[in-house]
Structure 1
Amino acid sequence: MRPPDFAPVPAPIPAPIPEDRLHALVEAMRGQPVLMLVDLVVDRFLSGTPKRISREAPVLILRYAGESLAPGGGANAVANVMALGGLPRPFGLVGEDASGRELLAAFAERGIPTGAILVRPGYGTPTKTRILAGFPTGIKQQVVRLDREQEVVLRGEEVEALRRAIAEAGGARAAILSDYGYGSVVPALLPEIRKAVGQDGAILVDSRFRLGDFAGLDGATPNEEEAETLLGRPLDDLQGSDVGAGRELRERLRARFLLVTRGSRGMSLFTPDGAAHVPVHGTDQVADVTGAGDTVIATFALALAAGGSPREAMLLANYAGGVVVMKMGTSTVSREELHAAITTDPRPRLEMTWVEF
């Protein structure tokens, strides 16, 4: 626990990161390889137009209007790296089922390599189906979500196959672990990932349920709820009275940096030297938060791989997150959209604050 007399030391506000520097980093993301050990998920969207209330039960009847599929879970992080111009190298497992085949096809259409994705007969690829209701000219609202989930324990030969694939993938400056609790992200593969990125590279983790199991990596990107779960107490003010809790969590994870996403309150970054806080980009009236954390970790990792500092990477991730939550469904952000956000909204860049430990 942090000693009761711990208090942050006010520090001079650092000079704003120049806009040109951020634009240069966005361009430097192009072609950066990122190793990605992920839980692969399929997001399905079924949409319909409201007709009436059913006589069978007090439920809405929808007239089928269409459906779509998007890479979900860790697969969405992979898609975001690709959309930003990076070179994702995904490692994981899908089933020999319709969802698995469609996900591999979606990756292939985007130019994402699939050779290191294992296919297991009898395994059901995790699939989240969202039912959306709305009129053609209006915004569609999510009515219900149906999850088909099957946790998996990787077999010894599957772990070895992934280990060989990671070793053969070549070097990278960054790696992402996207753990949604489905079993593909196993600590046994971390030594091989460390070899691939080197001691100067960054291994980042986004874990929904077991962040504490990944202590000792370079960075983590939990949201506030996940951070509170690990700490065992609420975080009301990471920019003020709770800044010491952020420091405590980073130390508990033995991470070089901890990036906490805070929804409409922006983001907070904790390093050994202090904490940086940045306001949210855009409006706090979001359209859809689905997959926003995947966009954040993808952008953060690519910015670090491109030579950015943790503060610069946080700022770019903040811009990307603000863009993606204004889109409906599981979405990605392009370099062009990131450039536009940086140009049109200087507030996050100018209002970033710093607290020294």
Structure 2
Amino acid sequence: MNRDAALAGAAVGVTALALLAVVAVPGVLADPTEDGPVRPGPVDIAETNIGYDESAVRGETVTLGVETRVRHRGNPTPNVTLLVRAVDADSGLVETTRTVDVGTLRDDGETVVATNVTVERAGGYRIETVLFQDERRVDGTGKTVRGLEALTPTYARSTVAFSDRAALPPLSVSVADAAGNRTTLDLAASLTNGGDAPSEDLAVTFVLRQADSNVVATRATSDVDAIRPGRTATTTATATVPTEYNYYLDAVLTRDGVVVDTARTAVNLDPTKRISVNETEEEVEFRVEDFESGDGDGVERETEFETEAGTATSQPGFGPVAAVVALAAAALLARRRHR
């Protein structure tokens, strides 16, 4: 067979194979026009913030507001969804789950996605946020909230509380009369209105309990007159108890039957023994913190959309340049063999 004819036939065969690949495998030759396939731009979670509205704090539950900032770059990215779940920090059980359809992200920058999750007002939770694109997990993060029991329900919130100053203690007790084995006490409670409106519907209940037996010796209730904003007022009551015993005095401040504050002190009537109130209390406060272990989210990250040879706008396949190079290589090879 003539060598030139063989080489020419080989070049024709390469060209035919390239054309056949274009027909058989869509996308082998990339379409440089805007109508061709475009790879979605990368998306990830830039930041997550957790807060609450005071009106969303109820007796058993609290609704937390989760604000997630989703960052997007490059080409439009469709079918973006965000999963938000609350996991009990102690048991590891999922308390609640919310899914938000973010839709298509087109502009470069951050998009704020707001979600509400309702949990029990006790203990702590891991609030996890997971980002999906076309049902594929691409990023995740989370924070831990603790001390939910420290949040005051709306119905128990009041601007009036027992005073807490060295010169003006919340409770004071004095002996009004002592006859035989009975002692009459004058009880007083100091209250301060730290709000902007006068108080109303307040009452203080005094409860005296014998220290050794914890038996309630007596109780008395006193209505509280309206207290102007920023003012401190005193409400009083009298109580008669057996002499030569020590007592704990508990005062309960209520508004329309709802407990809004409490105070305690000791009353020593036993000359041979004294008691005091244990003032060491564990302070519980609401706080939000990042996860402490690993990346803090336990979520596999898949945010690398770019490759070493191209950017997020590069197309799959050989491309027209690759086809031309293949044909040129075949022609050069034929020429060298002919020589």
State whether TM-score is above 0.5.
no
- TM-score range normalised by the length of the shorter chain: under 0.3
More helix per residue: 1 or 2?
Answer: 1
In the superposition, the TM-score normalised over structure 2's length comes to 0.19
Where relative contact order (Cα < 8 A, 6+ residues apart) is larger, the structure is: 1
Query: Which entry has the higher C-alpha Rg, 1 or 2?
Result: 2
More strand per residue: 1 or 2?
Answer: 2
